[in-house]
Amino acid sequence: MFLGRGRIRRLLILLWVLPLLVPLLLLHPRARAAARLTTGFQSLEQDTRVFYEPGAEVHAKRCAESLSAAIARVQEYQGQPFRAGFRVYVCASHESFTRCLGEPADSPARGMKLFRDIWVSPLAFNFRGTDTHRQTITHELSHLHMTQQLGLRSFMGTVPTWFAEGLADSVADTGCEIVSHQEAREAFARGRHFVPDAEGRFLFPQSATHYGISWPMLHRQSRMFVEYLHDRAGGSFEDFVVAVGKGEPFDVAIQEHYGDSLNNLWNDFLESLNSGSETPRGQGHLAP
Ligand SMILES: [Zn+2]
């Protein structure tokens, strides 16, 4: 491939700057966690994919026991096997979880997908009095699975936030713990809801604040729309998810698999809410 002078100059500048940038980036806890530069974690004897801090061994064993079912569930729902191995980091305290990931100390996150791995907080084992670690692992694995399918394309922001979250919530039976189906319906009726963008954004992904709703509401509403898409596609929903994972532009994949535009599908969904024909799922009773 021919490289022009300008391109060569930019490449040389990048090669010069990169060794300076990498150590700077690695000062951030999240970058260190993504690079697996973790200290104090050791792998579990019974499942070397699971890493735990001292004091988290019991939780780590329970994660290991839940892993096979979670992987099978994600692969079945999303239509493809995982493409690469991963690690599960199990933290001994929520404080350690947020510190390792560079999150605010009061972050309500129970788990997180970070680059090649997933992380689990002890919160997952006692979320509002319920053990949700299976659901948490499954939710994060759904995100990891999509990232693995997209490969480098995941950096392009191909998948809109509402779809990534709604899919993970639907796969894992999450997103229904705080906001009830009825509350979500009422919010839809009042016009307080997300709008299904056709593409994601890598640097500044759409957030709940962007839509003027809470994160639990965004999760609940996204899950409702994704489940509407799931049911409407019948048996071919996995094919649609596979197309998205191949990096097909989201609106193109929608048009190809549904024979209609995202906008029309969204209006049909809103109409199904108005007419009461939408099928409620996830009533806030978490699977055991
Ligand atoms: Zn998520």
Ligand 1 centroid to Cα of residue 18, in Å, is 31
CA of 167 to the centre of ligand 1 (A): 9
The answer to whether residue 155 scores a pLDDT higher than 60 is yes
Average pLDDT, stretch 174-196?
95
Tell me: pLDDT of 287 over 90: no
Report the range of poorest mean pLDDT among 29-38, 265-274, 275-284.
275-284
Cα(20) to centroid of ligand 1, in Å?
33
Give the Cα separation of 265 and 110 in Å (integer): 32
Contact between residue 265 and residue 258 where contact means Cβ atoms under 8 Å apart = yes
Tell me the three state secondary structure of residue 43. strand
Copy the structure tokens of residue 243: 């197309």
Residue 139: what pLDDT? 98
Contact between residue 127 and residue 177 where contact means Cβ atoms under 8 Å apart: yes
Is the pLDDT confidence value at 120 over 80?
Answer: yes
**260: helix, strand or coil:** coil
CA of 110 to the centre of ligand 1 (A): 10
State in Å, rounded, how far the first CA of the chain is from the last one: 56
How many angstroms is it from 163 CA to the middle of ligand 1? 10
Mean confidence (pLDDT) of the chain:
90
> What is the maximal distance between C-alpha atoms in the chain?
63
Per-residue pLDDT at 248? 92
Helix 262-275 × helix 250-258 angle, to 10°: 60
Residue 282, pLDDT > 70, answer: no
Q: Which pLDDT belongs to residue 276?
A: 77
Report pTM.
0.88
Please name the residue that has the structure tokens 């094919």: 239
> What is the whole-number distance in angstroms between the Cα of residue 92 and the centre of ligand 1?
21
Q: What is the separation of C-alpha 209 from the centre of its chain, rounded to a whole number of angstroms? A: 18
Q: Which domains does the chain have, with CATH numbers?
A: 30-151 (3.30.2010.30), 157-288 (no CATH)
